[in-house]
Every structure is written in C-alpha cells, then in structure tokens.
Homo-oligomer: A and B are copies of this chain.
Amino acid sequence: MSDQPLQYLSENREQLLEKLNNFLSIPSVSTDSVHKQDINEAANFLETYLNDIGFDNVAQQDTGGHPLIYAEYNQAGPEAPTVLFYGHYDVQPVDPIDQWASDPFKPEIRDGRLYARGASDDKGQVFMHLAVFEAYMKTEGKLPLNVKVCIEGEEEIGSENLYDVLHDKKQQFDADFAVISDSGMVAQNQPTILYGLKGFTGIEINVSGPDHDLHSGMYGGAVRNPIMALNHILTSMKNENEVVTVDGFYDGVEPLSEEERELIQNVQGEDYAEATGATETASEKGYSAKEHTMARPTFEINGMYGGYQGEGTKTIIPSDATAKITCRLVPGQDPERIQELLEKHIHNVTPSGVTVDVKKEKLSAKAYKVEPDHPLIKKAAESYTKAFGKDTVYVRMGGSIPVVEWIEAIYQMPIVLLGFGTPEDRLHSPNESFLLDSFDKGMETLVYYWSNVNGL
C-alpha cells in the first residue's frame, strides 16, 4: 500500500479536528424531543460530508423516527469485498450539566483529550471512518473496497426504528462483512478486539397507592406507602451479594470456563474503583468485578423517583413511585423471557394496598459472541497491532449494541468490532472525552485494515 492516505491524515490533522468539532458542537440528543432540530442538523452534516468525499447515493432515509444516513461506494469493482460500516450520530443527554468542566457542545482539548458529548460515543469514532475514506479519495482517488455506510440517529434510545429498516431493505444493506467502531479498548494504547457483547433488556415499574398525595399525619398508619412498597419489590430482585434473586434469571447461562476466567484475568483492565470513584468494587458473589462486568448478567436500577423532591420537608405519603431498570444479558438468556420473569416476580411480591404496572422496554437484544480466529478478525488485530505497536487482546464486554445482534440475525455476516475509546472516556457521563492519541492511531489502524482485507 502507499503511505499517501496516512500522510494526508497527518498533514490535514488540524482541519480534520476542526471539522470534527463542528460535528460535536451539534447537540444531537435523541432521547429528548426538544433536540429534533439538532438531530436534523447532525444528519445534514453527514450527508454533506459523504457527498464531499465522493460517495454515491447519499441519502437521508426516513425511518419513522430520526433519519438514517445511507451512502455507498461501488467503484472498487465486483471482485473487491463490500463492507457495511455502521455508526450513530445521536448522543446521550448531558444532565447533570453542572458537573461538566466545559460546555458539552463546545469541544475543548485538555491534556491530549477532546472533551465533548459524543466525542467517544459515537460521533468521534464515526468521524474517524469518514476522515479515512476522505484520505483515500483525496490521495488515491478511490477506496480499496466497496462500502455501504449506515449511520443512524437513534442508538441512544434503543435504535428505535433501525431493526425494521435492516429487515425491510436486506438488499440495500447486504455486504460481505460489517465494521462497527462504537466500543473501546481495555486500556489506553491497548489494541482490543471485542469478541463478545452483552444483550440488553429493560422494564419500568410503577407502583400506585392512594389516588392523591396524603397528609402523613392524617393517614400515616392507614395505607401502604408506594415508595416503601417499591423498595420491598426491588430488594427482592437483587440481594446484597449482587446476585439476582428472580426465579430463572440465570437459566441457560453457560458457566464461565477456567480458560475464559484466565483470559479475563490476563486483560490489563482498568482499576474500577479508581475509574468510578466508588470506595470499593462490588460484584456478584463468586465472581470478580472484571468477570461480572465482562461475562455475567447484570441488573441495574437506572432511576427511581416518587414523592417530594423539593426544598425542605413535605410530610406526605406519595400516590405513586417509579423505577427504571435495565439488565445486561449473556449468551443463553432471551431478553423477552427475562422481561417475563421479572414481571412475574414483581406481581408475586407486590404487597397489599398498592397496584403495580410493569412497562416492558420495546427494544431488546440478545448477547453476541464471534469466532476470535476468523480471518477478518485476525486481520483487524494485525492492523491494530501495527498502528499501536502492541499486541491485540480479545475481550468480551458488558456493553450492548443491539444492531450487532440484528445484523448477525438478519444477514449472518461476520461483524468486526473495532473500538478506539478508552476507559477514561466517561461515556454517558459528564465530561465525556476522547483521547487524541486514539484518534490518530485509530485512523492509522483503519488505513492498514482497508488496504489488507481484499481477498479475505
């Protein structure tokens, strides 16, 4: 291969970073409808960029929700392989906003990191792919393989409409393999191939008691307190050993093999307590924090609320209370079945005097595991190692990318998860950032990869 694309990337680094900043400055928060206009602006940015690079059939596809950006490049010829590149341009909400050191939508570089919502998840990594395609087109006038681009705007809200699109337009999105950069490395400068992802499902529990907030002096002692009732329900679902106590939750979960435990042990992972600021780690009895996070199912309360939250005291018994729960699943667990088990359990343990309503999260995903020694995976690892100058490690991770499961289920194509984030990126949190060293070496990795996948 020629070094021209690499040269182009280093010579144009400033302009590329400036362009990335423009992309990150758009508050494309998908979960909140007030940002609809920003979502469209981010979509327009991508449509323009892909046209400028020289892609064909660039279009904003109507999904029923936020637009999906599609583009293709077929000039590598029928002999060359076709890759489906997936990414997303929507980002998480920014609250609590007061904990940000700088404006989440005014990108700022501090100590070699680019701070902005979406810098790592996933606008930054999407941009790296486009910049690499630009480098090839500007220097060699062509790409080394055929490409189909699929960048959605609803990943942070469960890829609301993507499943239908992928399902209804098999012809359009079909390819030889898929590449996704929406994950991270286990440590800075540690090339990491994800060979396993967790599945995902969720429910919302609402407990209703009295039909209005009550004076705690007039009715305290006469009715069930919905918050306390919800507390009793939730504590019956996971104990203090971090073991989920819902009947059947662990059914079908394959036991962690000694080999895999050793593999996980050998991963130079981050110090969880340090990275999170928790006083100490807490994990499922019998498993280390690393084992639980990477390879065991989890049950988390993402939010809970009921009653008075304002200044001072309000002596009421609230009329209702709500909890939002999501679970990360491993191979062997079926999301819909897990939802049913949770719902059944909740109805069984709900105390008298209150009624409970369980809302099931519509979008769920099964866990995903790929063969680590597939040639496309090994080639990715080589490119990774060449760019970062370090051996690539293979890991499973706790995150879920529903689209991965869908692409596998619908297209049966191999999926290469090339993530360039680092554990310190603070995804979904205040002060999200992306390491510029990963930005440079990540693009280098992609240049090596694209120029070597031919014929695999």
Contact = CB atoms under 8 A, between A and B. Distances in A.
Interface residues of A, number: 102
A441 interface: no
B217 A429 contact: no
Contact of A32 (B200, B309, B310): B310
Contacts of A324: 307-308, 313-314
A315 B302 contact: yes
B400 A225 contact: no
Interface stretch (A141-149, A351-359, A407-415): A351-359
A300 B220 contact: yes
Contacts of A238: 228
A118 interface: no
A353 B280 contact: yes
Interface stretch (A129-137, A281-289, A332-340): A281-289
Given A222-B292, A280-B352, A352-B282, A216 B313 contact: no
Contacts of A253: none
B321 A304 contact: yes
A311 interface: yes
Contacts of A281: 222-223, 353
A242 interface: yes
A238 B95 CA distance: 33
A306 interface: yes
Contacts of A283: 221-222
Nearest to A326: B315
A403 interface: no
Nearest to A228: B301
A223 B399 contact: no
Contact of A210 (B31, B217, B277, B304): B277
Contacts of A308: 302-303, 324
In this complex, the member of A157, A202, A279, A328 whose beta carbon has the largest number of chain B beta carbons within 10 angstroms is A279
B282 A313 contact: no
A158 B202 CA distance: 41
Given A228-B238, A313-B302, A426-B212, A296 B221 contact: yes
A423 interface: yes
A303 B318 contact: yes
Interface in A410-447: 423, 426-431
A355 B276 contact: no
A222 B276 contact: yes
Nearest to A361: B313
A316 B99 CA distance: 15
Contact of A222 (B198, B293, B352): B293
A27 interface: no
Contacts of A119: none
Contacts of A312: 31-32, 157
B292 A303 contact: no
B228 A92 contact: no
A456 interface: no
A193 interface: no
A3 interface: no
Interface of A: 31-33, 92-93, 95-96, 99, 157-158, 184, 198, 200, 202, 209-225, 227-228, 231-232, 234-235, 238, 240, 242, 272-273, 275-284, 287, 289-290, 292-293, 296, 298, 300-319, 321-324, 326, 328, 351-355, 361, 397-400, 423, 426-431
21 contacts: A32-B310, A92-B314, A93-B310, A95-B310, A96-B213, A209-B276, A210-B278, A211-B278, A215-B399, A219-B398, A221-B283, A222-B272, A222-B289, A223-B276, A223-B281, A224-B278, A232-B235, A278-B353, A279-B352, A279-B353, A301-B306
| Top-5 shortest CB links A-B | A211-B277, A217-B399, A221-B292, A303-B307, A220-B298
Given A279-B353, A279-B355, 13 more contacts: A184-B218, A200-B315, A210-B276, A214-B276, A214-B429, A215-B427, A217-B400, A221-B287, A227-B323, A282-B353, A302-B318, A309-B322, A314-B324
